[in-house]
């Protein structure tokens, strides 16, 4: 996006990405599905870097859902390996990432996740915690209903302990127990790969999000495609329930 266009737009503060189409991209090339995820991981890198360049406050990437464990074991293993490589690379490129200003956050249930991965995420989160560039939420073992259920459980525990009065529980309380606590709700959610559904992604946070669906498969998604989605978003009239 050129400087002039960029300066004329009110950009989304938070963008969510449903990175769909890796498998089809690979199959169309006679490759293993895992190769599609590998290509998708490169696009995740370029798009998160571009979000930082644009000055987007938060970007959430749906990398692995609570339902994705049902996939063949070799595909699940390939994805776990990719996440590990990403985290190791983030450590190796700490200086570069610091310059970009990434604040990396894990969004998901750490239960039944490989221990090594959980601790790598923990290190990455801690090391990047004071960065003021784009917050990159990597949603792994993530499900929106599970996220809300966990929040309800934590709030109920606090109510039972007398730390919060039941009548004081409001929408902000719930938001503050979600993985995205303290971040703006997504203004824009982009799904690649031709399907038009939300698939349990940020279901609480997306109450007023604008949705952008594209047939482009995630490994083919470029910064130009993101520009198109943002420009489309900027042309919409968001009323948040008002007239
Ligand atoms: C959905 O496409 C995609 C996934 C389940 C995995 C997304 C993960 C990545 C892009 C890797 C991200 C990497 C890091 C490091 C965060 P699909 O496999 O369901 O595609 P299909 O609908 O064509 O089968």
Q: List 192's β-bridge partners, or say none.
A: none
* 224 and 203 Cβ atoms separated by less than 8 Å: no
| Atom 22 in ligand 1: residue holding the nearest Cα | 21
Position 41 confidence tier, pLDDT thresholds 50, 70, 90? very high
Distance of alpha carbon 36 from the chain centroid: 18
pTM above 0.85, yes or no: yes
Q: What distance in Å separates the CA atoms of residue 120 and residue 116, rounded to the nearest whole number?
A: 6
* 193 and 25 Cβ atoms separated by less than 8 Å: no
The verdict on whether 237 is a catalytic residue reads no
pLDDT at residue 182 above 80?
yes
Q: What is the mean pLDDT of residues 164-186?
A: 98
Q: Which of 17, 18, 22 to mutate to test the pocket of ligand 1 (most atoms within 8 A of CB)?
A: 22
> What separation in Å is there between the alpha carbon of 79 and the centre of ligand 1?
8
Distances (CA, A) of 235 to 74, 238, 243: 43, 9, 17
Q: Does domain 13-143+185-232 have CATH number 3.40.50.300?
A: no
> Does residue 20 line the site of ligand 1, with CB under 6 A?
yes
Q: Which of 18, 28, 39, 40 to mutate to test the pocket of ligand 1 (most atoms within 8 A of CB)?
A: 40
> Does residue 44 line the site of ligand 1, with CB under 6 A?
yes
Largest distance between two CA atoms of the chain: 59
Q: What distance in Å separates the CA atoms of residue 153 and residue 168, rounded to the nearest whole number?
A: 16
pLDDT the model gives residue 239: 78
Q: Which atom of ligand 1 is nearest to the CA of 26?
A: 23
Q: What distance in Å separates the CA atoms of residue 193 and residue 188, rounded to the nearest whole number?
A: 17
Q: Give the DSSP H/E element, type plus range, for residue 156.
A: helix 144-160
Q: What distance in Å separates the CA atoms of residue 97 and residue 118, rounded to the nearest whole number?
A: 20
The verdict on whether 68 is a catalytic residue reads yes
Token readout for 181 is 């606590």
Q: What is the mean pLDDT of residues 163-177?
A: 98
| Atom 8 in ligand 1: residue holding the nearest Cα | 63
Q: What is the mean pLDDT of residues 18-47?
A: 97
Q: What distance in Å separates the CA atoms of residue 211 and residue 228, rounded to the nearest whole number?
A: 13
- By C-alpha distance, which of 114, 22, 30 is closest to 75? 22
% of the chain surpassing 70 pLDDT: 100
pLDDT the model gives residue 184: 98
User: pLDDT (tens digit, 9 = 90+) per residue, 60-112?
Assistant: 999 999 999 999 999 999 999 999 999 998 888 878 777 788 899 999 999 98
Residue 241 region by backbone torsions, left for phi larger than 0, else alpha for psi between -120 and 50, else beta: left
> What separation in Å is there between the alpha carbon of 10 and the centre of ligand 1?
29
Residue from 2, 7, 22, 68 carrying the catalytic annotation: 68
> Does residue 19 line the site of ligand 1, with CB under 6 A?
yes
> Does residue 176 line the site of ligand 1, with CB under 6 A?
no
Residues 6+ apart with CB under 8 A from 237: none
Where do we find the tokens 């498998």?
23
Q: Where are the domains of the chain?
A: 13-143+185-232
> Does residue 61 line the site of ligand 1, with CB under 6 A?
yes
Q: Which atom of ligand 1 is nearest to the CA of 82?
A: 15
Residues 6+ apart with CB under 8 A from 65: 139, 141, 142, 143, 199, 200, 201
């Amino acid at each position: 996006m050129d400087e002039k266009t960029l300066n004329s737009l009110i950009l989304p503060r938070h963008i969510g990405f449903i990175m769909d189409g890796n498998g089809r991209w690979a199959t169309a090339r006679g490759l293993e599905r895992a190769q599609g995820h590998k290509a998708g991981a490169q696009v995740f890198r370029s798009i998160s870097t571009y979000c930082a360049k644009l000055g987007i406050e938060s970007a959430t990437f749906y990398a692995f859902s609570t339902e994705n464990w049902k996939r063949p074991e070799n595909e699940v293993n390939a994805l776990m390996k990719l996440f590990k490589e990403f985290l190791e690379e983030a450590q190796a490129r700490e200086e570069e990432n610091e310059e970009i200003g990434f604040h990396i956050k894990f969004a998901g249930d750490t239960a039944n996740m490989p221990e090594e991965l959980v601790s790598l995420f923990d290190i990455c989160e801690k090391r990047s915690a004071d960065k003021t560039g784009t917050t990159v939420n990597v949603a792994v073992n993530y499900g929106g209903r599970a996220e809300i259920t966990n929040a309800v459980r934590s709030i109920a525990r606090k109510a039972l302990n007398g730390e919060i009065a039941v009548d004081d529980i409001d929408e902000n309380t719930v938001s503050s127990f979600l993985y995205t606590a303290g971040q703006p709700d997504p203004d824009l959610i982009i799904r690649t790969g031709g399907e038009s559904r939300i698939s349990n992604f940020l279901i609480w946070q997306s109450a007023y999000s604008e949705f952008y669906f594209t047939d482009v498969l995630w490994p083919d998604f470029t910064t130009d495609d993101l520009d198109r989605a943002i420009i489309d978003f900027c042309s919409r009239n968001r009323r948040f329930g008002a007239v």
